[in-house]
Amino acid sequence: MEGSLESQIAVLAGGAEPDEAGTSAVTRLTVTTSLSAVVQSAADAAGHLADEDARARTVAYRVSNLDSANRMPESVRVGDSLGTAMTLMVLRDYSQLPVLDTDGRLRGVISWESIGLARMADPQADLAAATVRAQEADRSDDLLDWIVTIQKSG
């Protein structure tokens, strides 16, 4: 596919692809209509966008679209040693880890920053002292709404 930044593209429903003659619904319709009307006509012809609400739909990138949101993350459990958590972080090159209770519920997160702050306050600090509050996203949340939070928390 080629074009410039000003090029328009059409996303067509199944059945709007080229026929045996090599012309598509878009090609056949562009002879008599503008491109935006072509997109609308092709979508309507395929039975998608039957009403005004459907035409106004927006596409969102959900948290559930992330690979990591669809599997259990590596974590440590309340009561594990801080050394265990640090070893896992070093071996896996993680900057932070979730801390889960015995039922698998999120109780917080540890990070290199939280470990450093806890150890500055008390050189013998344990996992509980290095655990800080965590925010949990719902799988249906729009990922773009979380960008600022992700940036602030690393």
Domain boundary among 30, 57, 84: 57
83 and 24 both lie in a single domain:
no
Quick one: 146 and 104 in the same domain? yes
CA dist., res. 44 & res. 13, Å (int): 9
Average model confidence (pLDDT) for the chain?
79
Same domain, 46 and 69: no
Q: Is pLDDT at 135 greater than 70 in this prediction?
A: yes
Instruction: Say what the pTM is.
Output: 0.58
> pLDDT per residue over 25-35, tens digit each?
555 544 444 54
pLDDT attached to residue 126 = 97
- Residue 12 reports pLDDT greater than 90: no
Do residues 37 and 71 both lie within one domain? no
Domain limits at 82? 63-153
One domain for residues 108 and 142: yes
For residue range 74-107, list pLDDT tens digits in order.
Answer: 999 999 999 999 999 999 999 999 999 999 999 9
Same domain, 50 and 68: no
Q: Do 140 and 72 share a domain, yes or no? A: yes
Find, among 54, 72, 67, 68, the residue nearest to 13 by Cα: 54
Q: Count of domains in the chain?
A: 2
My answer on whether 68 and 130 are in the same domain is yes
Mean pLDDT for the stretch of residues 47-71:
69
98 and 134 co-located in one domain: yes
**Which tops the pLDDT comparison, 45 or 102?**
102
Q: Are residues 34 and 85 in the same domain?
A: no
- pLDDT value at residue 13: 62
Is 94 in contact with 114 (CB distance < 8 Å)?
Answer: no
Residue 132 pLDDT > 80: yes
What's residue 108's pLDDT?
95
**CATH number, residue 97:** 3.10.580.10
pLDDT of residue 61: 84
User: Where does 24-69 have alpha helices with state H?
Assistant: 25-30, 35-45, 52-55
> What angle, rounded to 10 degrees, do the helices at 112-121 and 82-92 form?
150
Alpha-carbon span 133 to 150, nearest angstrom: 14
Pair (103, 139) in one structural domain: yes
